[in-house]
Homo-oligomer: A and B are copies of this chain.
Amino acid sequence: MTAKIIDGRKIAEIIKKEASNELEKLYTKYNIKANITTIKIGNNPSSDLYLKLRDKACKEIGILSNHLEFSDDVTEREIIRSIKKLNSDERIHGILLQFPIPDHISANKLFKTIDSNKDIEGLNPYNIGKTLIGDNSIIPCTPLAVLKILEYEKEKIEGKNIVIINHSNIVGKPLAILLLNRNATTSICHIFTKNLKDYTIKADILITAIGIPNMITKDFVKEGSFIIDVGISKNKNGITGDVDFNSVKDKINKITPVPGGVGPITVACSIKNMIQTYRNLLELKNY
């Protein structure tokens, strides 16, 4: 039997619909439009693509979305000054930092500067720390997208063997924590892992965010497993994930495609987080 291909766009629509309903309720109550700002540094084509998709989604559901754009040679100090202005601007409900950012700027410093109540990405240390201790927090968008896929597919997490290939601050580490909070046995592999197949072959759920096209073939995967492909690579035919679909399709049970899998759900989760920061601030003001 061929694997079920998860329709990421459909899940994204459900999340956006829920977000839109929530937004409408809040707007009715407070009569203030949600207003978010994205900071974009340099000219990366994948940034432009994400921004375009997000702006479109914001427009559809009625969130005001504007950009602060900086050239590649902007100083860290200048970005920090802009973030502080956005922090203290009462009209702004959320701040988003578009990745990638140039090497001379520390992502950690920027995330520490973003007000934890306006932190759409959930990557301010206070928010990520709340995620670690299992406290209600803003969850980083890509890990949240993975959780949403498992939730909509009614996949049990507790006791499952889950393998993540990625140990970044934005994807692998927070995702591992979120899965541990749900009692999965969790292994985190990465570029320094010596025996990757030994891990992946036992994964009931394999989450891959490598960025090497078609690297994961059938000898990497467990019979009947669920694969979530977070990888995005560009080639002449468009974008490709980490998984060689044709190789694995008769061995596994479910898979998210690239494009049309994790990507649109991540955009929807960023909308969901925008509404969470907007609600936080409205409720804070009200008390």
Contacts and interface: CB of A to CB of B under 8 A. Distances in A.
A174 interface: yes
B133 A108 contact: yes
A126 interface: yes
Contacts of A31: none
A111 interface: yes
Nearest to A123: B133
Contacts of A123: 133
A127 B187 CA distance: 24
Contacts of A158: 192
Contacts of A135: 108, 112, 125
The complex is assembled from copies of this chain, and their number is 2
A159 interface: yes
Interface string A191-220: 111110011001000000000000000000
Interface stretch (A75-83, A176-184, A227-235, A241-249): A176-184
Given A159-B192, A187-B185, A202-B198, A132 B129 contact: yes
A188 B180 contact: yes
Q: Is the interface of A mostly helix, strand, loop or mixed?
A: mixed
A271 to B, nearest CB: 24
Contact of A185 (B108, B159, B189): B189
A173 B177 contact: yes
26 contacts: A111-B133, A112-B130, A112-B135, A125-B127, A125-B129, A125-B130, A125-B133, A125-B135, A126-B129, A127-B129, A128-B129, A128-B133, A129-B132, A132-B132, A132-B169, A133-B169, A158-B192, A159-B192, A161-B194, A161-B195, A176-B180, A180-B190, A185-B189, A185-B190, A186-B188, A198-B202
Interface pairs A-B: 9 shortest CB-CB: A125-B129, A129-B129, A187-B187, A128-B129, A183-B192, A185-B193, A159-B192, A125-B130, A126-B126
Interface of A: 108, 111-112, 123-130, 132-135, 158-159, 161, 167, 169, 172-174, 176-177, 180, 183-195, 198-199, 202
